[in-house]
Amino acid sequence: MVGDIPDESAEIAGICRLYRLKKRVTELSRECIQSTCNTLDSVLDNQSLIVSKPRLQRRDRTSMGKLSGKTALITGGSKGIGRGIVLAFVKEGCDLLISSRNQEDLDRMAEEAREAAEHDLKIVTHAGDIGCSDSVDAMFEKFKANFDYMDLLVNNAGAFNGGPIDQLALEDWDHVINTNLRGPFMCTKLAMQIMKPQNNGRIINVGSISATRVRPGSAPYSTSKFGIQGLTHVTALEGRDYNITCCGLHPGNIATERRQASEAVEDQEPMMTVHELAEVALLMATLPQHVEILDAVVLPHQQLYVGRG
């Protein structure tokens, strides 16, 4: 009978409505997912700009060195150990601010660094007294005016005045402590203020084996290097939560210009070159960011160290 036949058209219409509803729900889901993804992308892009914007502005270079695209501030960079570190860094593509007391020495060093570099690098100089707060402030202002990011600070500037404690002039003591300890403290303080917001950075402090093996007549120098070791450890500890590492480089005898011109007995001992030591500084600078060399003693194999003192 006709009345017993199911209404197929109504059933089909219901199925079609269900398919249309399913299609619309799918479209809405896709739109919602896409909108959410776009929002997340926008947030991530903004965060990337905050953290990494300076990286995006860096120059592309055809050949990448270990430090290509990175920046460093190196104190005491015109002679001796500093000169060796400057040359090692520029050969690996690092842009630099080099500081020293004498502008003529800096100009000569900057020219040598440009000749040693394989590519066009930005090399800025600053002449001033590392023990003077105004000079250090001006140096960091110059760095920030020329670079958007600070990857590396190398506290290398040093002074060597000394003599028997009972005959030591207070002026000599102050000069060495101001140069070797007060200066690195001020530089570390200002570098940390830059590196903490970056959530990244590395500080390399050039100490000495005199931090653990002293010589007679070295009270200011040895005291300052003991202090540098303590500053290194505290910096590493306080930098831990900000992805800032700190390394201590403690050289033995180095054939610097000063020691090559000296006739003192200790300056006739076995020596290593500034370039040999600079290789260790370069290693520290190129370590993975989660790795630091807290203390590295580097010296000629024949130099008396164990048992010295």
**Confidence at residue 211, expressed as pLDDT on a 0 to 100 scale:** 87
**Confidence at residue 56, expressed as pLDDT on a 0 to 100 scale:** 37
**Confidence at residue 41, expressed as pLDDT on a 0 to 100 scale:** 55
What's the per-residue H, E or C state across the chain? CHHHCCCHHHHHHHHHHHHHHHHHHHHHHHHHHHHHHHHHHHHHHHHHHHHHHHHHCCCCCCCCCCCCCCEEEECCCCCHHHHHHHHHHHHCCCEEEEEECCHHHHHHHHHHHHHHCCCCCCEEEEECCCCCHHHHHHHHHHHHHHCCCCCEEEECCCCCCCCCHHHCCHHHHHHHHHHHHHHHHHHHHHHHHHHHHHCCEEEEEECCHHHCCCCCCCHHHHHHHHHHHHHHHHHHHHHHHHCEEEEEEEECCECCHHHHCCCCHHHHCCCECHHHHHHHHHHHHCCCCCCCCCEEEECCCCCCCCCCC
* Chain segment 112-124, per-residue pLDDT in tens: 999 999 889 999 9
Write the CA distances from 249 to 12, 143, 154, 253, integer angstroms: 83, 24, 10, 13
Please report, as a single letter, which amino acid is at residue 226. Answer: F
**Confidence at residue 202, expressed as pLDDT on a 0 to 100 scale:** 98
* Chain segment 214-251, per-residue pLDDT in tens: 888 999 999 999 999 999 999 999 999 999 999 999 99
Please report, as a single letter, which amino acid is at residue 141. Answer: E
Which ranges of the chain have pLDDT less than 50?
Answer: 1-3, 5, 43-62, 309
**Confidence at residue 59, expressed as pLDDT on a 0 to 100 scale:** 47
For the chain, the average pLDDT equals 85
Q: 123-127 and 95-100 as β-strands: parallel, antiparallel, unpaired?
A: parallel
